[in-house]
Amino acid sequence: MSRRPTAQDIREFCMYLETCTDAQVRGVLERESKAGRVTYVRLAYPIRDLNHEPIG
């Protein structure tokens, strides 16, 4: 079982997502989903939505 992300982890992840292309965000979503890191998946979904991409 992985540890819960800290507030710092979440801030850093969000800053990273802001620099990603749409394709990179899709890759992040896939990787984090496969790893079962739900918190990170939930953080990445709004980024896709803002880019007008289908969610799911």
State how many domains the chain has.
1
Give how far Cα 12 sits from Cα of 9, 52, 54, Å.
Answer: 5, 23, 25
**Residue 48: per-residue pLDDT:** 54
Is 19 domain-assigned? yes
Is 1 domain-assigned? no
Is 11 domain-assigned? yes
Each residue's pLDDT, cut to its tens digit, for the chain (56 residues) gives: 568 899 999 999 999 998 998 889 889 999 999 999 999 998 887 765 555 555 55
Tokens of 41: 């998946």
**Residue 9: per-residue pLDDT:** 95
Residue 36: domain span: 7-50
Regarding pTM above 0.85, the answer is: no
**Residue 45: per-residue pLDDT:** 78
